[in-house]
Amino acid sequence: MIRQATQADAAAIAAIYNHYVLNTVITFEEQAVSTSQMAGRIEQVKADGLPWLVLEQNSEVLGYAYATKWRVRSAYRFSAESTVYVKDGITARGIGSQLYQQLLTELKALGLHLVIGGITLPNEKSIALHEKFGFEKCGHFQQVGFKFEQWRDVGYWQKLL
């Protein structure tokens, strides 16, 4: 079941995300996020009128997807940045695809025009997921982040809705 996230999901979402924070370069965050910090992030997304979705199975959150404003200037109001995370150990089961499909559907229904996905490179799985949904590469920043004692590149993919 895919549904809107609630405050009650903050601990499960933080647990999924913190695996990636502490063990991968997929996110440039370097410190674990607390449940209360995650709850605040969920509320901010909702306050901005954007979706934060969770995929739940047998009362367990297995993944989540959300969108944030691309930039704060009003002319950017029809663009958003998308994010999808799936619980470690259960990737490649279609959970990310289900979440992304629902997120894109909801963003289009909200009248958004462009969705942007940032990907720390290399990351063939994330590139494949984005391109599966029609995203096209539109930018590449070299050595823009520094994590685990290495410079990291980030590519950007976009999709017109």
Q: What is the pLDDT of residues 31-61, one digit of tens each?
A: 999 999 999 999 999 999 999 999 999 999 9
Q: For 24-34, what is each residue's pLDDT tens digit?
A: 999 999 999 99
Options 2.40.128.20, 3.40.630.30, 3.40.50.11540, 3.90.950.10; which CATH number does 2-160 get? 3.40.630.30
Task: Give domain limits for the chain.
Answer: 2-160
Q: Nearest 5°: phi and psi at 139?
A: -170, 160
Q: Model confidence at 113, in pLDDT bands (50, 70, 90)?
A: very high
pTM: 0.94
Going from the C-alpha of 32 to that of each of 11, 20, 21, 86, 116, the distances in angstroms are 12, 9, 6, 17, 25
